[in-house]
Structure 1
Amino acid sequence: MSQLLHPVSRRSLLAGAAATGALIMLHPFSARAQANQAHLRIMETTDIHVNVLPYDYYADKANDTMGLSRTASLIDAVRKEAVNSMLIDNGDLLQGNPMGDYIAYEKGMQDGDLHPIMKGMNLLGYECSTLGNHEFNYGLSFLDKVLAGANFPFVCANLIRGTQLAANPRDDKLYLKPYVILDKKIKDGSGAEQPIKIGIIGFVPPQIMVWDLKNLEGNVKTRDIVDAAKAWVPEIKEQGADIVIALSHSGIDVKQGDMMENASFFVAGVEGIDAVFTGHQHLVFPGKKDFQSLEAVDTEKGTLQGKPAVMGGFWGSHMGLIDLLLERDGSKWRVVSATSEARPIYERVDNKNKATVNDDKRIIAALEQDHEATLAYVRRPVGKTSAPLYSYFALVADDPSVQIVNQAQSWYLKDILKSTQWKDVPLLSAAAPFKAGGRSGADYYTDVPVGDIAIKNVADLYLYPNTVRAVEITGAQVKEWLEMSAGIFNRIEAGKADEPLINTDFPSYNFDVIDGVSYKIDLSQPPKYDAKGGLANAGSNRIVDLMFDGKPIDPAAKFVVATNNYRAGGGGNFPDINASKIIYEAPDTNRDVIVRYIISEGTINPSADDNWSFAPLAGTSVVFETGPKAKDFIAEVKSLKIEPAGEGEAGFAKYRIAL
């Protein structure tokens, strides 16, 4: 443990009140089970994404909201609340943080090697897992070597080896076993041990054939999740299973279709399935926040079509729990009652995240060398930048820290969309500056010099663990998107000197720059939208000279815009930008896409292309505040006449722009 983390992080890892170390109470099913009844608690982790330790390698610091080592402490306490329990996982284990990339790209997996995720899971006694879509990111050979180190089975009923689907799903040549039947002993209400057969079936999103086409084409195919479930569940029952559990690495959606990505709701409707463990969407179910408006989804009881279900967050943030009260009917068991819960590893106190469990020290010790190697990896250069990456002028000029995000998003989606119906639709990209001073202080800016760039520098470029989304909108909606962004600027009266430029109530993360078009912002016009997305001045048109491909944009033309899940889902209340416009939900974070882009390019050129600027206003100047280090980059900003204008407040520096 001595070398695992720097001193401050070590204290953080071991801190936090261990809520589970207090009074342990039996679940009512265990406490009240009769002689012919038994309580079975099934614990789920999902979407761990190699976050075995509570450490954010991008930011290079400890994080109390993540880590299987934290969830492991929760597991121990949860087991004590039930007479009978078992632990399963729902996939997305092998990719998602720099430790996963280090193993795949740097260290490699040789036959007989034990992946860090398997080191942790083997210690905890998992009994089964399924595959998530991210298991394929490093190729099938890598996956095979990792799975060989598991002390528990993996199942997947809709991943077919080869290129041919059989007429009957039961005749498919599957990559893994479609299901397992575990012969277990459980204690009934009288304390006597009784045999039970538990069937476990698994599913992966069929979209892996799009997301990982390069790794999978010609090697495997996928079948519709629900079709596979309907075919295999009857066989599981025929083989004597008392109960059937679905490990569905698939989210929750009530709009039915073929080859659904998020099919767990309809898996719950398959006859013979008793409980559904979901994941993939990185959300929490049951709970008060997610899935509230979906019909036949009970977010309080935790049921889908009346069947118990759970989604245990992501990165180890929650433990998913389904408790089944079983009753013996002759020689068979059946479910007579159920409860569902997603139990967190931290709580929010005074706007800060506070751990509610300690670490499992066995996992900390087992991963010490992997942790140290990963730290060295993220601190070592993975590419170079031929231009400085800074955000000191991100709110007043086209900016390299935003430019590189847009370049990476476009690079990523161009490859994915080329085999879809949107392959010929023009692709744009939208991104906003995150580190732009403001209330976070005069040092809160991106500043990466020319030369080597390390993975941890990506945290400077992209602060949040958002995931990539694509929306399809019209040229008219592109303009309104930009009108909303332009609300960050105050109205400027022509002919006046040193008017304040920035509306400080407008968050910088809502100042989107859209690459792929060019435009000017007329500051003499009032903002069309206020900071909350409300229509403030319907007749205003700040966005002028909006061009695509050298011509005025066609308001009726279709465009695909790369963005993140926050914006695509309606975050910021941008006009007409909401989930209904989403055409693609990527399985990857924007951070991860940037890292992949840097590795792919070797040397990146983030120089701003000046696709936007202010419309000229003769005899007019504005002032704004930024970090004092901005003086080193004034010459880099070609599109503006910027000069120092004295000291600002709280350590900021003031600058003037002649419009």
Structure 2
Amino acid sequence: MKSITITILETSDIHGNIFPINYGSNDKAELGLGKIATVIKQERRRNRNTIVIDNGDLIQGTPLTYHYVRSNSHKPNPMIALLNDLHYDAAVVGNHEFNYGMDVLQKAINESNFPWLSANILNEKGEPFIGKPYLLIELEDGVKAAILGVTTHYIPNWENPEHIKGLTFDDALESTKKWVEKIRTEENPDIMIVSYHGGFEADLETGEPTEKLTGENQGYRICTEIEGIDLLLTGHQHRSLSGKVNGVPIVQPSFNGQAIGKATITLMRNEDMWTITESKPELIFVNEIEADEASLQLVKEYEYETQEWLDKPIGQVIGNMTIDDPLKARLKDNALVEFINKVQMEVAKVSISNTALFNNVTKGFPSNITMRDVVSNYIYPNTLTVIRISGKDLKEALERSASYFILENGEVTVNPSFTTPKPQHYNYDMWEGIDYIFDLTKPIGERVVRLSFKGNPVRPDGEYDVVMNNYRAGGGGEYVMFKDKPIIKDIPLDMSELIANYILERGTIEATVNNNWKVIW
């Protein structure tokens, strides 16, 4: 009996990361497509029957891609140039592909030497908007692999309507079901691969829901409700997953190029039929892997220009927006936090906002602000969400933040629950648009001694629209009062880009402190 082994490699949620660095400091980082390129080349040498697929969220996410779109869009997209050079077989449209608008996305698609797949994003004629729902690849000995591309249909909840004008987002689960059946019937592939830019809504073993079932993630249902899938490639959630769900091999390769998904599938030929006899899903992390120098050289000009741009002033500060003592900055209203909250309120068009100082090395903005200052102060790739909460929720959230502090012999210090086993300074929020006071002499849970909005006390049954980062809006950091609240608006661009745009539009910003909150003891 003849056998053949196929290797399927998946990247997902690369988010514009090529070089193994942190752009805020230029320190070394264990990530990036440069390191992934080394793995791809090694795997291709090991097995000529190798398929490489990108699962979406490729062209947006770093200063390199941001600078490219702002300044160099007449040149080839650096992400596409690299994927072309690595001979990718296909790519799937992710939700962040739309962030820079349809022109940028269409240009990237046109420059690609591989097809982009999206079965469930339809144009005004009801057809896949990029023309290709699936791809057939013929491998050694006539083995035929089908790759179906689908994308989370939740995109209209986040994206700027102008960027997705004329598009319809069909239910990803239903589209997958329809197309798998059609491909199985009409093409009769030996391997059926579904590449889904979406994640899992349930525990992979128990099937218990792990999030509100909005339809954003449907990976568990795809595995349990659709017959005929031999491999499910996933992403979107930035998780590190490999295993099997209902017997279907699955992978999800982290984010920012920290890992690549790999599935090894062995087929045996019996008369005229190939049968899958073994499938092994796994992740390859890039920690100990050197970046491929040829790949870095390919885009070195983009990187050089980006680094130059990162160090050019983008605006100026009137007044002091620096942070000298992070504890003091959390005890009394400060200009940096007030500025970030102002940006969030301006972008979201709401009157209440919260944000945090993410760590204790944040230095704030110097007089002449560079883009590097922005990315080193706002270190996470957060987007913004507006949720509607009650006055009761608002007070509970403030009490959660107030628990950040404890008193020891009359001195204020940080509650160990925010520092051990790992620092979680990012879970202490400061608010704009409301007036409040924390009294640390009160017990935890009873420390909010004043809380008002526009001069009136906040009513427990009142409704308030608040903008915050997507992590917090999902209940992250034990802010359970925010979980599953009505989402009024999603702003899908990273906060570092929003801050930069705000400064660039104005040229000069002012360090202001309105003292709407304070901590007493």
Which interval holds the TM-score relative to the shorter structure? 0.7 to 0.9
Is 1:159 aligned with 2:94?
Answer: no
Deviation at 1:329, TM superposition (A): 4.6
Separation of aligned partners in 2, 1:197 and 1:365: 35
Is 1:145 aligned with 2:107?
Answer: yes
Q: What are the residue-to-residue correspondences of 1:276-315 with 2, within 5 Å?
A: 276-286=232-242, 302-315=243-256
In 2 relative to 1, CA 527–336 (structure 1 residues): closer, same or farther, beyond 3 Å?
Answer: same
Separation of aligned partners in 2, 1:309 and 1:601: 47
Is 1:517 aligned with 2:472?
Answer: no
Q: What's 1:371 paired with?
A: 303
1:257-310: CA deviations, max 9, x gaps? 997221222333322322111111111112xxxxxxxxxxxxxxx123321110
Separation of aligned partners in 1, 2:519 and 2:191: 66
**Aligned partners of 2:12 and 2:54 also within 8 Å:** yes
Is 1:229 aligned with 2:191?
Answer: no
Separation of aligned partners in 2, 1:205 and 1:427: 31
Separation of aligned partners in 2, 1:220 and 1:606: 42
Q: What's 1:655 paired with?
A: none
1:140-190: CA deviations, max 9, x gaps? 12212222222211111111122x64xxxxxx35333111111222xxxxx
Q: What's 1:48 paired with?
A: 14
1:310-339: CA deviations, max 9, x gaps? 001111100101121223354343323312
- The one-letter code sitting in structure 1 at the alignment partner of 2:231 is A
**Which blocks of at least 5 consecutive residues in structure 1 are unaligned?**
1-34, 166-171, 186-193, 287-301, 347-355, 415-425, 437-443, 494-498, 530-540, 618-659
Deviation at 1:358, TM superposition (A): 0.6
**Aligned partners of 2:345 and 2:352 also within 8 Å:** yes
Q: What's 1:611 paired with?
A: 516
Is 1:86 aligned with 2:18?
Answer: no
**Aligned partners of 1:409 and 1:562 also within 8 Å:** yes
Separation of aligned partners in 2, 1:36 and 1:427: 68
- The one-letter code sitting in structure 1 at the alignment partner of 2:321 is L
In 2 relative to 1, CA 257–457 (structure 1 residues): closer, same or farther, beyond 3 Å?
Answer: closer
Is 1:68 aligned with 2:24?
Answer: no
Mean alpha-carbon deviation: is it higher for 99-108 or for 583-592? Answer: 583-592
Separation of aligned partners in 1, 2:371 and 2:152: 29
Deviation at 1:489, TM superposition (A): 4.1
Q: What's 2:339 paired with?
A: 404
Separation of aligned partners in 2, 1:357 and 1:36: 34
Q: What's 2:197 paired with?
A: 249
Separation of aligned partners in 2, 1:509 and 1:234: 46
Q: What's 1:317 paired with?
A: 258
Q: What's 1:3 paired with?
A: none
**Aligned partners of 2:362 and 2:377 also within 8 Å:** no
SS at match of 2:251: strand
**Aligned partners of 2:319 and 2:510 also within 8 Å:** yes
Q: What's 1:500 paired with?
A: 411
**Aligned partners of 1:385 and 1:605 also within 8 Å:** yes
Q: Which residue of the other structure, out of 38, 51, 54, is the alignment partner of 2:4?
A: 38
Separation of aligned partners in 1, 2:147 and 2:351: 42
**Aligned partners of 1:520 and 1:545 also within 8 Å:** yes
Deviation at 1:580, TM superposition (A): 4.4
Deviation at 1:466, TM superposition (A): 4.2
Is 1:115 aligned with 2:81?
Answer: no
Separation of aligned partners in 2, 1:63 and 1:267: 38
Separation of aligned partners in 2, 1:585 and 1:77: 40
Q: Which residue of the other structure, out of 274, 277, 300, is the alignment partner of 2:230?
A: 274
Deviation at 1:60, TM superposition (A): 3.6
Q: Which residue of the other structure, out of 48, 60, 72, is the alignment partner of 1:95?
A: 60
Q: What's 1:626 paired with?
A: none
Deviation at 1:244, TM superposition (A): 1.6
1:492-516: CA deviations, max 9, x gaps? 99xxxxx533347455433311222
Mean alpha-carbon deviation: is it higher for 462-471 or for 512-521? Answer: 462-471
**Aligned partners of 2:58 and 2:97 also within 8 Å:** yes
Deviation at 1:581, TM superposition (A): 4.7
Mean alpha-carbon deviation: is it higher for 469-478 or for 70-79? Answer: 469-478
Give the greater-gyration-radius structure (CA).
Answer: 1
Separation of aligned partners in 2, 1:258 and 1:466: 22
1:418-451: CA deviations, max 9, x gaps? xxxxxxxx76322122354xxxxxxx4524234x
In 2 relative to 1, CA 597–304 (structure 1 residues): closer, same or farther, beyond 3 Å?
Answer: farther
Separation of aligned partners in 1, 2:385 and 2:30: 24
Q: What is the CA RMSD across the aligned residues, in angstroms?
A: 2.8
Q: What's 1:128 paired with?
A: 90
| Percent of aligned pairs sharing the same letter | 30
In 2 relative to 1, CA 330–515 (structure 1 residues): closer, same or farther, beyond 3 Å?
Answer: farther
Is 1:448 aligned with 2:365?
Answer: yes
Separation of aligned partners in 2, 1:429 and 1:560: 9
Deviation at 1:344, TM superposition (A): 0.8
Is 1:331 aligned with 2:284?
Answer: no
Deviation at 1:53, TM superposition (A): 1.3
**Aligned partners of 2:99 and 2:492 also within 8 Å:** no
The TM-score normalised by the length of structure 1 is: 0.70
- The one-letter code sitting in structure 2 at the alignment partner of 1:475 is G
The TM-score normalised by the length of structure 2 is: 0.87
Q: What's 1:595 paired with?
A: 500
Is 1:197 aligned with 2:136?
Answer: no
- The one-letter code sitting in structure 2 at the alignment partner of 1:479 is K
- The one-letter code sitting in structure 1 at the alignment partner of 2:251 is V
**Which blocks of at least 5 consecutive residues in structure 2 are unaligned?**
203-208, 420-424
SS at match of 1:148: helix
In 2 relative to 1, CA 214–467 (structure 1 residues): closer, same or farther, beyond 3 Å?
Answer: closer
How many residues end up aligned between the 2 structures?
Answer: 502
**Aligned partners of 1:50 and 1:94 also within 8 Å:** yes
Deviation at 1:488, TM superposition (A): 4.0
Q: What are the residue-to-residue correspondences of 1:523-562 with 2, within 5 Å?
A: 523=440, 525-528=441-444, 541-562=446-467
Deviation at 1:517, TM superposition (A): 1.2
